[in-house]
Amino acid sequence: MKGIKGYEPRSSSSCAACKLLKRRCTPDCLFAPYFHSNECKKFAKVHKVFGASNVSKILIEVPEKQREDTVNSLAYEAEARLRDPVYGCIGSIAMLQRKMMELQHDLAIAKERLARCRAVAAAATITTTTAPSVIDSLHSDVTLPPFPEFSTSDDLNDIFCHGSSSQFLGRNETVDDFNQIPYIF
Protein backbone atom coordinates (compact mmCIF):
# COMPACT_ATOMS: atom_id res chain seq x y z
CA MET A 1 0.00 0.00 0.00
CA LYS A 2 2.83 2.32 0.75
CA GLY A 3 4.08 2.11 -2.82
CA ILE A 4 0.85 3.36 -4.40
CA LYS A 5 1.32 6.87 -5.61
CA GLY A 6 -0.77 9.51 -3.90
CA TYR A 7 -2.35 7.06 -1.51
CA GLU A 8 -2.86 8.27 2.00
CA PRO A 9 -4.80 5.93 4.23
CA ARG A 10 -7.88 7.44 5.84
CA SER A 11 -7.09 6.83 9.45
CA SER A 12 -7.93 8.48 12.76
CA SER A 13 -5.71 11.38 11.67
CA SER A 14 -8.45 12.52 9.27
CA CYS A 15 -10.28 15.56 10.53
CA ALA A 16 -14.00 15.41 11.23
CA ALA A 17 -14.77 17.27 8.01
CA CYS A 18 -12.88 14.87 5.78
CA LYS A 19 -14.35 11.90 7.63
CA LEU A 20 -17.86 13.15 7.02
CA LEU A 21 -17.17 14.19 3.45
CA LYS A 22 -15.37 10.90 2.85
CA ARG A 23 -12.31 12.42 1.34
CA ARG A 24 -8.61 12.38 1.90
CA CYS A 25 -7.45 14.69 4.67
CA THR A 26 -4.41 16.47 3.35
CA PRO A 27 -1.75 18.04 5.58
CA ASP A 28 -2.94 21.50 4.57
CA CYS A 29 -6.64 20.72 5.07
CA LEU A 30 -8.43 23.95 5.94
CA PHE A 31 -10.77 22.29 8.40
CA ALA A 32 -8.33 20.05 10.23
CA PRO A 33 -7.14 22.56 12.88
CA TYR A 34 -10.71 23.41 13.85
CA PHE A 35 -12.66 20.19 13.46
CA HIS A 36 -10.69 17.47 15.19
CA SER A 37 -11.39 13.87 14.37
CA ASN A 38 -13.51 13.47 17.50
CA GLU A 39 -15.72 16.46 16.69
CA CYS A 40 -17.88 14.91 14.02
CA LYS A 41 -21.14 16.22 15.46
CA LYS A 42 -19.80 19.76 15.48
CA PHE A 43 -18.88 19.63 11.82
CA ALA A 44 -22.09 17.82 10.91
CA LYS A 45 -24.15 20.67 12.34
CA VAL A 46 -22.10 23.34 10.61
CA HIS A 47 -22.22 21.44 7.33
CA LYS A 48 -25.97 20.93 7.56
CA VAL A 49 -26.68 24.64 8.03
CA PHE A 50 -23.94 26.37 6.06
CA GLY A 51 -22.44 23.73 3.82
CA ALA A 52 -18.76 22.81 3.77
CA SER A 53 -17.92 24.91 0.72
CA ASN A 54 -19.49 28.04 2.24
CA VAL A 55 -17.63 27.44 5.49
CA SER A 56 -14.34 27.11 3.64
CA LYS A 57 -15.05 30.35 1.74
CA ILE A 58 -15.75 32.14 5.02
CA LEU A 59 -12.60 30.74 6.63
CA ILE A 60 -10.42 31.74 3.71
CA GLU A 61 -11.62 35.32 4.02
CA VAL A 62 -10.63 35.73 7.66
CA PRO A 63 -7.08 35.93 9.04
CA GLU A 64 -5.71 32.63 10.30
CA LYS A 65 -5.56 33.89 13.90
CA GLN A 66 -9.30 34.44 13.89
CA ARG A 67 -10.36 31.23 12.23
CA GLU A 68 -10.89 29.34 15.45
CA ASP A 69 -13.26 32.02 16.72
CA THR A 70 -15.00 32.00 13.35
CA VAL A 71 -15.53 28.26 13.49
CA ASN A 72 -16.81 28.43 17.04
CA SER A 73 -19.28 31.18 16.19
CA LEU A 74 -20.44 29.26 13.11
CA ALA A 75 -20.93 26.17 15.27
CA TYR A 76 -22.94 28.24 17.76
CA GLU A 77 -25.13 29.68 15.02
CA ALA A 78 -25.64 26.28 13.43
CA GLU A 79 -26.65 24.80 16.77
CA ALA A 80 -29.09 27.67 17.35
CA ARG A 81 -30.60 27.29 13.90
CA LEU A 82 -31.04 23.55 14.24
CA ARG A 83 -32.65 24.01 17.64
CA ASP A 84 -34.93 26.79 16.39
CA PRO A 85 -35.32 26.49 12.61
CA VAL A 86 -37.50 29.61 12.39
CA TYR A 87 -35.60 32.16 14.45
CA GLY A 88 -32.12 30.74 15.05
CA CYS A 89 -29.80 33.21 16.78
CA ILE A 90 -32.16 36.08 16.06
CA GLY A 91 -34.53 34.61 18.64
CA SER A 92 -31.83 34.88 21.30
CA ILE A 93 -31.02 38.43 20.25
CA ALA A 94 -34.66 39.46 20.46
CA MET A 95 -34.98 37.95 23.93
CA LEU A 96 -31.83 39.73 25.14
CA GLN A 97 -33.00 43.02 23.63
CA ARG A 98 -36.28 42.67 25.49
CA LYS A 99 -34.46 41.96 28.74
CA MET A 100 -32.21 44.96 28.18
CA MET A 101 -35.22 47.23 27.66
CA GLU A 102 -36.79 45.98 30.89
CA LEU A 103 -33.55 46.54 32.79
CA GLN A 104 -33.17 50.05 31.43
CA HIS A 105 -36.71 50.78 32.52
CA ASP A 106 -36.01 49.41 36.01
CA LEU A 107 -32.79 51.42 36.16
CA ALA A 108 -34.56 54.64 35.28
CA ILE A 109 -37.13 54.05 38.02
CA ALA A 110 -34.40 53.19 40.54
CA LYS A 111 -32.45 56.35 39.70
CA GLU A 112 -35.56 58.41 40.21
CA ARG A 113 -36.17 56.78 43.58
CA LEU A 114 -32.58 57.37 44.61
CA ALA A 115 -32.85 61.03 43.70
CA ARG A 116 -35.97 61.30 45.86
CA CYS A 117 -34.26 59.52 48.77
CA ARG A 118 -31.28 61.86 48.52
CA ALA A 119 -33.59 64.86 48.53
CA VAL A 120 -35.34 63.57 51.64
CA ALA A 121 -32.02 62.86 53.34
CA ALA A 122 -30.69 66.31 52.49
CA ALA A 123 -33.85 67.92 53.86
CA ALA A 124 -33.60 65.85 57.03
CA THR A 125 -30.02 66.92 57.73
CA ILE A 126 -30.88 70.58 57.17
CA THR A 127 -33.86 70.59 59.55
CA THR A 128 -31.99 68.71 62.26
CA THR A 129 -30.26 71.38 64.40
CA THR A 130 -29.63 70.40 68.03
CA ALA A 131 -29.75 66.66 67.61
CA PRO A 132 -26.95 64.78 69.33
CA SER A 133 -24.07 63.51 67.29
CA VAL A 134 -26.11 60.60 66.02
CA ILE A 135 -26.05 61.91 62.50
CA ASP A 136 -22.53 63.25 62.75
CA SER A 137 -21.32 59.87 63.76
CA LEU A 138 -22.61 58.41 60.52
CA HIS A 139 -20.93 60.92 58.22
CA SER A 140 -19.25 64.25 58.59
CA ASP A 141 -21.21 66.09 55.89
CA VAL A 142 -24.50 65.79 54.05
CA THR A 143 -23.02 63.67 51.26
CA LEU A 144 -22.76 59.92 51.58
CA PRO A 145 -19.33 58.34 51.88
CA PRO A 146 -18.14 56.35 48.88
CA PHE A 147 -19.54 52.88 48.60
CA PRO A 148 -17.21 49.95 48.75
CA GLU A 149 -16.45 48.25 45.45
CA PHE A 150 -18.06 44.84 45.45
CA SER A 151 -16.15 42.25 43.49
CA THR A 152 -19.19 40.80 41.80
CA SER A 153 -22.77 41.78 41.47
CA ASP A 154 -23.71 38.40 42.93
CA ASP A 155 -22.91 39.72 46.41
CA LEU A 156 -25.43 42.49 45.99
CA ASN A 157 -27.93 40.20 44.41
CA ASP A 158 -27.75 37.89 47.37
CA ILE A 159 -28.33 40.68 49.84
CA PHE A 160 -30.82 42.95 48.17
CA CYS A 161 -31.85 41.96 44.73
CA HIS A 162 -33.51 39.11 43.01
CA GLY A 163 -32.08 39.82 39.59
CA SER A 164 -30.75 37.08 37.38
CA SER A 165 -27.11 36.10 37.58
CA SER A 166 -24.71 37.41 34.99
CA GLN A 167 -21.59 35.87 33.64
CA PHE A 168 -19.80 38.44 31.56
CA LEU A 169 -17.90 41.57 32.34
CA GLY A 170 -17.77 44.17 29.65
CA ARG A 171 -17.74 47.71 28.51
CA ASN A 172 -20.60 50.12 28.39
CA GLU A 173 -22.44 50.35 25.12
CA THR A 174 -25.93 51.37 24.29
CA VAL A 175 -28.35 48.98 22.71
CA ASP A 176 -28.86 51.62 20.02
CA ASP A 177 -25.69 50.28 18.41
CA PHE A 178 -27.66 47.36 17.03
CA ASN A 179 -29.74 49.28 14.54
CA GLN A 180 -29.39 46.47 12.04
CA ILE A 181 -31.35 44.09 14.26
CA PRO A 182 -34.95 45.23 14.50
CA TYR A 183 -36.90 44.67 17.67
CA ILE A 184 -38.78 41.63 16.53
CA PHE A 185 -41.11 41.21 19.48
Partner 1 sequence: MIYGRCAACKSQRRRCPSDCIFSPYFPANNPQRFASVHKIYGGGNVGKMLQQLPHYVREQAANTLYLEAQCRIQNPVYGCVGIISKLYQQIHDTEAELAKIQTQIACHKLQNQQYEAGSNFNLLPPQSSSMEQFQWPNQTPNWFN
Within 4-63, the residues that bind partner 1 by CB under 8 A are: 48-51, 53-54, 58, 61-62
Least Å distance between CB 131 and partner 1? 6
Binds partner 1 by CB under 8 A, chosen from 1, 160, 179, 185: 160
- Taking the C-alpha atoms of residue 164 and residue 106, their distance in angstroms, rounded to an integer, is 13
Binds partner 1 by CB under 8 A, chosen from 28, 64, 159, 185: 159
Binds partner 1 by CB under 8 A, chosen from 38, 128, 143, 183: 128
Of the candidates 47, 9, 15, the one whose C-alpha atom is nearest the C-alpha of residue 30 is 15
Q: CA triplet 137, 141, 147: central angle to 5 degrees?
A: 80
> What character string, x for contact with partner 1 (CB under 8 A) and - otherwise, covers 70-109?
x-xxx-xx---x---xxxxxxxxx--xx-xx--xx-xx--
Residue 88 Ramachandran class (φ > 0 left, ψ -120 to 50 alpha, else beta): left
Least Å distance between CB 144 and partner 1? 7
Exposed, middle or buried: residue 7 (CB in 10 Å: 0-12, 13-18, 19+)?
Answer: exposed
